[in-house]
Amino acid sequence: MSYAKRNDNLGWRSVSGPDDCGPDETYSETQPVLEPQPEQILASLTQAMQAHLDAEAQTKRYDNIKSAALRAGYPGPFHDEGVAAATWMDTCFALGYTILAEVQAGTRPMPTEAELISLLPPMVWP
């Protein structure tokens, strides 16, 4: 089997031969291995961080970190938890954006999902 790999590294397709490749494709006799693009890595890290925050909020029976943080806007028995959740969420995302800016500036290597999560501060519930 032969392949046409997109030059933007975002995909490939099976082809009969080199003549089936388009102008934005490269012919390959072996199945191409796609390297993730920076945008894909960024999206993956953002999703991992969001999942981490959501999982922590779910330990307190909130649907996600946003529903926990929402409680900060209302007086009542869950207000303090909401303030803590909102503060932690903002702190984590600010740190995440700082790390990603350092990666883009070339002053820090791209962290893995596990490395990024390990850099985040722990949640402290009231």
Over 90: is that where the pLDDT of 10 sits?
no
Kindly report the pTM of this predicted structure: 0.74
Q: Return the pLDDT at 103.
A: 86
Beta-carbon contacts of residue 109 (< 8 Å; ≥ 6 apart): 103
The rounded Cα 62 to chain-centroid distance in angstroms is: 21
Here the tokens at position 63 are: 């649907």
Over 90: is that where the pLDDT of 8 sits?
no
Q: What is the domain partition of the chain in residue ranges?
A: 1-35, 38-119
Give the chain's mean pLDDT: 93
Q: Return the pLDDT at 30.
A: 93
Q: Cα separation of 85 and 17, whole Å?
A: 56
Whole-angstrom CA distances from 125 to 65, 107, 122 are 12, 33, 10
Report pLDDT digits (tens) over 39-94. 888 888 999 999 999 999 999 999 999 999 999 999 999 999 999 999 999 999 99
